[in-house]
Amino acid sequence: VLPADAAIYKTLWHSYTTKTPQKLKILDAFMAFLVVVGVLQFVYCVLVGNYPFNAFLAGFASTVGQFVLTASLRIQANPANKATFESVSPNRAFADFAFASVILHFFVVNFLG
Amino acid sequence: MAEAVLSKQTSRDARGLLKVVILALIAGAAIASRLFSVIRFESVIHEFDPWFNFRASKYLVKNGFYDFINWFDERSWYPLGRVAGGTLYPGLMITSGLIHNALKAINYPVDIRNICVLLAPGFSGLTALATYWFTKEMKDESAGLLAAAFIGIAPGYISRSVAGSYDNEAIAIFLLMFTFFLWIKALKVGSAFWGGLAALFYYYMVAAWGGYVFITNMIPLHVFVLILMGRFSNRIYVAYSSWYALGTLMSMQIPFVGFQPIRTSEHMAALGIFGLVQIVAFVEFVRGQVPSKQFQVLLRSFVVVMFVGGLAALVGLTLSGTIAPWTGRFYSLWDTGYAKVHIPIIASVSEHQPTAWPSYFFDLGMLIWLFPAGVYMCFRELRDEHVFVIVYAVMASYFSGVMVRLMLTLTPCVCVSAAMAASTLLDSFLDVTTSPSVSAEAATTAAVESNSGKPAAEKSTSAIETQASKMIKGMSNKRSEKPVGIYSKANRLVVVSSFLMYFILFVYHCTWVTSNAYSSPSVVLASRMPDGSQHIIDDYREAYYWLRKNTPEDARIMSWWDYGYQIAGMADRTTLVDNNTWNNTHIATVGKAMSSREEVSYPILKKHDVDYVLVIFGGLLGYSGDDINKFLWMVRIAEGIWPDEVKERDFFTARGEYRIDDEATPTMKNSLMYKMSYYNYDKLFPQGQAMDRVRGSRLPAEGPVLNTLEEAFTSENWIVRIYKVKDLDNVGRDHASAMQFEQGKKKRRRSGGNKGVVRKLRV
């Protein structure tokens, strides 16, 4: 579906590396790490089987949940999106992130059984 | 002047105080209007399902939380038992358990029964509050107060939440509205905090009611419609992702739900939209980075292809069986003829029938005609949250048309829409500040207005015009610079007073409906004596207490499943089947035993260790909800499993009539249910004149003969009849020949005993 033209990806990469602030890049690195962990868990589940299914789900849901929460934080903290989030300052966004992550991990640990 | 009090001089504090007072009064009205049955009769649990919830709550309070979660109930579904802790929604019991313990902690001990009885009225006050917040997000505070007042007394909601109706819906509607409020808040603010809170209350909702599936599908549908409308924003991403990721994980912690959120079709919409939101957000992000036009078009098509691919994957997984298809209960909402053909047990419940139109007017009063107007107003403004109300209105209207009991989920939406419509109207007609005749300073502004517009005298004549222009305020504001507003007092007075009258009539209607239709406990039947005094028919409890006091602790009672929870709750005896219809075959076994000849039934009863059989008979009193009228459902359910042995056709006469008199078919006359219902009934009447007052027909002159059962108890009005299953014959004969032998030897002697007193039949 996507074009095979490598130039577009080059401009994409260039625009990303130059325009993105340092803090957002750190968040992106964390998100990439979460993707890797999630994929690893999934591959392991496919290869070995899903016997303690709740354990697999807890682990996988923690990576997915943490990924979307980090993505939310990244969106909210991005200066480019300031107009969309009038009432959410970056500090408030981080507090939201912390609150949601704590709940998420409480339930992950509970679900691990 | 009244206007001066309400004008801008009024401080915000006074408005705040007024708001609190109004909300407190609404909560008071909501609670008070639900207490009819407690005041008229007594503080007792109604209906059937609440008896199990009550029993489970007692278990929770007595044995603690961990025992409750691991509760194996060996006193229901006799040979099988029921893993109660894992097959119930524990939210209701835990809520009342917490309230019980909290009251105990402040040295105000209240019996758990009273907490259970009064839980629904208490939560209805909270529902009014949640509806206020929800509507406040939609329009403004005044609409919120109206919506709170509407839902406080709307009969559509009261019908499921009167005092004593200790059912899941008692707390579920509050949780539904509060979750929706938090979702709207999350969407508007775009905050993971509100999304997380919405997930937490969604979790509570999952713990409380199986209707949580409605939320699981409403929120994704809302998001999907917003995406299709081209309104995707990062706020949607934040709100939906945080709600779904947290809420799904949380919902899986409820044992009864388990892995369903990832394995069943009901939950796949939420998962699919979650995936779609991720893709759309990613594509939006990439689109912002690259200016190339062609690439952006390609990205759009990428979203469409991914969406179609994802949909195909879901369909494929469903077809291959990895994802369970729709369960019968939900599927029958789409294919409305499905349950009647395939799952008679679903179709046999009276709440699962389609709704007739009068019940909309009955349950919602004037709100039902304000409802479309409110939805129309949502269309006019069409902010993101208004789309939610529109989607909710469409879906809930459809579901309430398919099934009577889903009127309950429609009611909040109707209240919100109607409040928006009514409040828009009142806004226009109570808008005192623009009136030219209010005060001196207003008059000067009016003078400026009349310079540009018409003279004052003309205004009153063109009242209708002005009115119309006010109604389409938004449009006319743009079109012309003419001042808009309703300046004639007569206009205002007429419209506002007529609406005031409607509101007052609405209160009267709601109170009347609540008082007359929805406040009668089914455990006690009330009737009127000729002089107008009330006469209580208390046969159910009479019989259940007989069972409780006069049978062994471990006696097994067989009855139709409707009475299973009540027997377990009031008689405290083991039952074979109950209202939790999880095992259709077991219910069909009971149906077969009830609908077969004694020779066939007796081995079934013996194999299941049945000691007593209980039937409900309304023939003497004209109580139509008895077992003979339910008998055909027993036959149908049994026929579903044993089509060769039980045939519905055999219970009808040659002309296709369902009769119990002389012309009844032999199969009908020989069925255990018929015999148990009419056993000795003819002795009450002069020879050959026994009448059944429900069916309105004369019974055969010869009463039925029971060989394998003996009458153990018949209640005062013959509503509940309990039979004891005879033991095997001492010398190995079958019961029929043993009876005949004894009858031939000595004349059958009836022990005299008044009705209502325990009767032992010597044979």
The tens digit of pLDDT for each residue in B32-62 reads 999 999 998 889 998 889 999 999 999 999 9
Q: Which CATH number fits domain B539-743: 3.40.50.1360, 3.40.50.150, 3.40.50.12610, 3.30.428.10?
A: 3.40.50.12610
**Is pLDDT above 90 for B15?**
no
In the numeric block, the tokens 């009448």 are attached to B691
CB proximity B257 to A under 8 Å: no
Instruction: Supply the angle between the helices B112-138 and B12-32 in degrees, to the nearest 10.
Output: 140
Q: What is the mean pLDDT of residues B413-428?
A: 94
Residue B157 has pLDDT above 90, yes or no: yes
Residue B445 Cα to chain centre, angstroms = 54
Whole-angstrom Cα distance, residue B394 to residue B253? 31
> To which residue do tokens 């690259």 refer?
B290
The 10 Å Cβ neighbour count of residue B146 is 27
User: pLDDT-based confidence at B478, cuts 50/70/90?
Assistant: very low
Partner residues linked to B698 by β-bridges:
B691
Domain locations in chain B as residue ranges: 8-264+326-427, 539-743
Confidence of residue B752 (pLDDT cuts 50, 70, 90): very low
Residue B534's DSSP bridge partners are B528
Residue of B185, B233, B246 for testing the chain A interface, max A β-carbons within 10 Å: B246
Contact A61 B234 (CB under 8 A): no
- pLDDT at residue B454 tops 90: no
pLDDT for position B485: 65
Mind listing the pLDDT tens digit for each residue in A86-101? 888 889 999 999 999 9
Sorted by sequence, the CB contacts under 8 Å of residue B263 that are 6+ apart come out as B322, B323, B324
Answer for the pair B676, B613: CB distance below 8 angstroms, yes or no. Answer: yes
Query: In terms of DSSP bridges, do strands B612-616 and B556-558 run parallel, antiparallel, or are they unpaired?
Result: parallel
CA distance B235 to A82: 11
SS3 B550: helix
| B274-302 CB burial, b ≥16 within 10 A, e <16 | bebbbbbbbbbbbeeebebeebeeebeeb
Question: Pairing mode, if any, of strands B720-725 and B612-616?
Answer: antiparallel
Provide CB contacts within 8 A for B80, sequence distance 6+.
Answer: B583, B586
Record: contact B278-A68, CB cut-off 8 A: yes
Question: Is the pLDDT at B358 greater than 80, yes or no?
Answer: yes
Q: Is B260 on the interface with A (CB under 8 A)?
A: no
Residues of A with CB under 8 A from a CB of B: 1-3, 8, 11-12, 15-16, 19, 53-54, 57-58, 61, 64-65, 68-69, 71-73, 75-76, 80-81, 84-85, 87-88, 92-93, 95-97, 99-100, 103-104, 107-108, 110-111
What integer pLDDT is reported at residue B288 of this predicted model?
80
Q: Do A65 and B290 touch (CB under 8 A)?
A: no
- Nearest-by-CA chain A residue for B282: A71
Please give the mean pLDDT across all residues of chain A: 90
Round to whole Å and give the CA distance between B442 and B205: 51
- B744 lies within 8 A of chain A by CB: no
Is residue B386's pLDDT more than 90?
Answer: yes
CB B476 within 8 A of CB B469: yes
Question: What are B236-274's pLDDT values in tens digits?
Answer: 999 999 999 999 999 999 999 999 999 999 999 999 999
A61 vs B248: CB contact, 8 Å cut-off?
Answer: yes
> Chain A contact for B763, CB < 8 A?
no
Structure tokens at B198: 């919405």
Judged against a pLDDT cut of 70, whether residue B436 lies above it is answered with no
Could you tell me which residues come within 8 angstroms of residue A100 by beta carbon, excluding any fewer than 6 positions away?
A69, A72, B192, B193, B195, B196, B242, B246
Would you say residue B596 has pLDDT above 80?
Answer: yes
Mutation for testing the A interface, residue in B226, B240, B241, B283 having most A CBs under 10 Å: B241
Query: Residue type at A110?
Result: N
Count other Cβ atoms within 10 Å, centred on residue A41. Answer: 16
| A-B Cβ pairs (cutoff 8 Å, strict) | 115
State the Cα–Cα distance between residues B265 and A103, nearest whole angstrom: 27
Mean pLDDT of B106-133: 95
What amino acid occupies position A47? L
Q: Are B252 and A111 in contact (CB < 8 Å)?
A: yes
pLDDT class of B440 with cuts at 50, 70, 90: very low
Inter-chain CB proximity A3 and B249 less than 8 Å:
no
Give the Cα separation of B230 and B519 in Å (integer): 48
Question: Looking at residue B320, what is its pLDDT?
Answer: 87
> Looking at the partner chain, which of A71, A95, A100 has a beta carbon nearest the beta carbon of B195?
A100
Q: Average per-residue pLDDT in chain B?
A: 87
Mutation target among A103, A108, A111, A112 for the B interface, most CBs of B within 10 A: A103
Check CB contact under 8 Å for B245 and A61. yes
> Strand, helix or coil at A106?
helix
Q: Is residue B131 a contact partner of residue B417, using CB atoms and an 8 Å limit?
A: no
- Closest residue by Cα to residue A103 from B229, B189, B248: B248
CA distance readout (Å), B531 to B23, B305, B356, B534: 42, 76, 35, 9
Q: What is the pLDDT of residues B657-709, one digit of tens each?
A: 998 888 889 999 999 999 999 999 988 888 878 889 898 888 888 888 899 99
Residue that wins the pLDDT comparison between B284 and B470 = B284
Nearest to B408 by CA among B348, B363, B357: B363
Min Cα–Cα distance to chain B from A48, Å: 18
Average of per-residue pLDDT across B606-621:
92
**B668 near B660, Cβ under 8 Å?**
yes
Looking at residue B749, what is its pLDDT? 53
- pLDDT confidence of residue B439: 44
- Residue B318 vs residues A17, A44, A51, B321, B342: alpha-carbon distances, Å: 42, 24, 21, 5, 21
CB atoms within 10 A of CB B710: 16
Q: Which residues of B touch A53 (CB under 8 A)?
A: 259
Lowest-confidence region among A2-16, B261-275, B578-592: A2-16
- Chain-chain contact of A72 with B199 (C-beta, under 8 angstroms): no
Length of chain A, in residues: 113
**Residue A56 predicted with pLDDT over 70:** yes
Contacts of B248 in chain A (CB under 8 A): 61
Query: How confident is the model at residue B6, as a pLDDT?
Result: 53
Fill in the amino acid letter for B161: S
Retrieve residue B554's tokens: 């471990």
Are the beta carbons of B292 and A73 separated by less than 8 Å? Answer: no
**Alpha carbon of B261: minimum distance to chain A alpha carbons (Å):** 11
Global confidence as pTM: 0.88
Nearest Cα neighbor of B177 from B202, B154, B206 is B202
Which residue is closest to B251 within chain A, CA to CA?
Answer: A107
- Angle, in degrees to the nearest 10, between helices B489-516 and B141-153: 30
Nearest-Cα distance to chain A for B316, in Å, is 18
- Please state, in angstroms and rounded to a whole number, the distance separating the CA atoms of residues B552 and B24: 51
In the prediction, which pLDDT does B462 show? 46
Summarised one tens digit per residue, pLDDT across range B522-562 is: 888 888 878 888 888 899 999 999 999 999 999 999 999 99
How far is the C-alpha of A108 from the C-alpha of B514, rounded, in Å? Answer: 45
From CA B550, how far away is CA B712, in angstroms rounded?
A: 10
Query: Rounded to the nearest 5°, which phi and psi values hold at B685?
Result: -115, 165
Q: Are B253 and A110 in contact (CB under 8 A)?
A: yes
In chain A, which residues have their Cβ closer than 8 Å to the Cβ of B242? 68-69, 72, 100
Paired residues of B537 in beta bridges: B525
